[in-house]
C-alpha cells in the first residue's frame, strides 16, 4: 500500500537560511507514516490500545534539494521490507509543482509489546499491508 500526503511548508518551518530545516523533515515524514497507518486502519492509537508500540530504530535520510516557504510537498510512503517484528518504509518527498524529489528516506520500525518492552510479532491486520520479504 502506497500513500501520499500533501503538506504546505509553513512560515515557522523555515530556518534563518529560508530553507526547511533538516529536523523538520522528520516531522513531515512522521505525518506521512501516521497517514499510512490510518489508511491501513492501524493507527498508532489503535495499536497502542492493543498494547503494541511502534519504535523507529533507524532513519537513513538523503537530503536531495531544498524547500522554501509556501512550497507544497508530497510525502509518499510505502513499505519495502517486512520481517517478523520489524519492517521498513521508503519515504520520499517531492515538490508538487515540479515533482522534483527533495528527500529519500528509509525508516526501520520495530513492533514492541508495551508491557514486555520487547519486540513482538507484527499483528496480521498490519502485516497484510506490508511486503512479506524477510529483513
Residue 135 engages its own copies in binding (rule: CB under 8 A): no
Is residue 116 near its own copies by the rule CB under 8 A?
no
**Measured distance CA(123)–CA(126) in Å, rounded:** 6
Residues 28-67: x where in contact with its own copies by CB under 8 A, - otherwise, as a string: --xx--x---------xx-------x-xxxxxxxxxx---
Name the 3-class secondary structure at 127: helix
Nearer to its own copies, 22 or 132 (CB): 22
Which of 46, 29, 31, 28 has its CA nearest to residue 126? 46
* Cell (9 digits) for 134: 524477510
Residue of 1, 2, 6, 18 interacting with its own copies (CB under 8 A): 18
Q: Are 120 and 85 in contact (CB under 8 A)?
A: yes
Q: Which of 4, 26, 101, 113 binds its own copies (CB under 8 A)?
A: 26
Based on CB atoms, which residue is closest to its own copies, 58 or 132? Answer: 58
124: which residues sit within 8 A by CB, 6+ positions away? none
Site for its own copies in 61-100 (CB under 8 A): 61-64, 69
Instruction: Please give the C-alpha separations between residue 28 and each of 16, 123, 131, in angstroms, as whole numbers.
Output: 19, 26, 23
Cβ neighbours, 10 Å, residue 55: 12
Select 39 or 63, whichever has its Cβ closest to its own copies.
Answer: 63
Summarize as ranges the residues that interact with its own copies (CB under 8 A).
Answer: 10-12, 14-18, 21-24, 26-27, 30-31, 34, 44-45, 53, 55-64, 69
Amino acid at each position: 500500500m502506497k500513500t501520499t500526503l500533501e503538506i504546505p511548508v509553513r512560515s515557522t518551518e523555515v530556518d534563518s537560511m529560508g530553507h526547511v530545516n533538516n529536523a523538520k523533515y522528520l516531522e513531515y515524514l512522521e505525518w506521512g507514516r501516521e497517514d499510512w497507518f490510518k489508511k491501513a486502519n492501524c493507527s498508532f492509537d489503535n495499536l497502542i490500545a492493543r498494547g503494541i508500540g511502534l519504535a523507529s530504530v533507524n532513519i537513513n535520510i538523503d537530503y536531495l534539494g531544498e524547500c522554501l516557504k509556501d512550497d507544497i510537498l508530497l510525502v509518499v510512503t510505502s513499505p519495502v521490507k517486512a520481517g517478523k517484528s520489524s519492517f521498513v518504509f521508503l519515504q520520499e518527498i517531492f515538490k508538487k509543482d515540479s515533482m522534483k524529489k527533495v528527500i529519500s528516506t528509509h525508516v526501520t520500525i520495530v513492533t514492541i509489546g508495551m508491557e514486555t518492552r520487547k519486540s513482538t510479532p507484527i499483528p496480521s491486520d498490519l502485516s497484510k499491508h506490508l511486503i512479506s520479504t524477510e529483513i
